[in-house]
Amino acid sequence: MLVHISNLIIPLIILVVLLYGTYKRVPTYETFVEGGKEGVKMAISLLPFLLGMIVSISIFRASGALDAFVGLIDPVLSFFHIPSEIVPLAITRPISGTASLSIATDLIKTEGPDSFIGQLASTMQGSTDTTLYVLTVYFGAVGIRKMGDALKVGLVADFIGIIASLFVCYLIFGS
């Protein structure tokens, strides 16, 4: 049921935007092309970030260190029904956007996009943002030196997001 709705969301958004744009007399195609150029720039600027991080993570995985780490924490996590493969992603998600995106990519690739881990990694990556980045950018831009409870609130919220992803994925995709 939910999977069907998921597949409907994007086509529906496209339909609404195109029809509403036409109704508002926006030069739709020209505007689309204009915005699309930004997409090219965005993808290209992402390349060095992703490449550097993916190489580093691949070294970590190929050496066997990742498996050793996962094996080490597995006994504790399996008790809570948490797949240990997801832990590196959960740890890096609040700290670095590119690191977590690279780890999610690695999981999707090695475990398969339609496996439970692949679905969980996709959900986790998409459902929260990088707290440390958000704090640095926004507080840095306006010169706030005393952050108050912002970091604590952000990190607790991330933790809730990770638990929520786990819970939702178990409910929807089963295991």
Partner 1 sequence: MVNIIWVALAAIGIVYALFNGTIEEVNEVIFTSAQEAVTLTISLVSVLVFWLGLMKIAEEAGLLEKLAQLFKPIFTRLFPEIPANHPAMGYILSNFSANLFGLGNAATPLGIKAMHEMKKLNNDSSEASRSMITFLALNTSSVTLVPTTIIGIRMQYDSMAPTEIVGSTIIATFISTIGAILVDRYFYYRRQRRLT
The nearer residue to partner 1, 77 or 164, going by C-beta atoms, is: 164
| Contact positions with partner 1 (CB under 8 A) in 53-82 | 53-65, 68
| Contact positions with partner 1 (CB under 8 A) in 110-169 | 112-114, 118-119, 122-132, 134-135, 137-139, 141-150, 152-154, 156-158, 160-161, 164-165, 167-169
Q: How far is the CB of 84 from partner 1 (least distance, A)?
A: 17
Q: How far is the CB of 14 from partner 1 (least distance, A)?
A: 6
C-alpha to C-alpha distance for 134 and 147, rounded to whole angstroms? 12
> Among residues 94, 90, 96, 86, which one has the least CA distance to residue 56?
96
C-alpha to C-alpha distance for 86 and 82, rounded to whole angstroms? 8
Interface with partner 1, residue 12, by CB under 8 A: no
CB 127 within 8 A of CB 92: no
From the list 33, 72, 73, 76, which residue makes contact with partner 1 (rule: CB under 8 A)? Answer: 33
Q: How far is the CB of 9 from partner 1 (least distance, A)?
A: 5
Interface with partner 1, residue 90, by CB under 8 A: no
CB 121 within 8 A of CB 107: yes
Q: How far is the CB of 75 from partner 1 (least distance, A)?
A: 21
The H or E element containing residue 57 is helix 28-62
Q: What is the CA radius of gyration of the chain?
A: 19
CB atoms within 10 A of CB 57: 18
Q: Who's near 141: CB < 8 A, 6+ residues apart?
A: none
The nearer residue to partner 1, 76 or 159, going by C-beta atoms, is: 159
Interface with partner 1, residue 175, by CB under 8 A: no
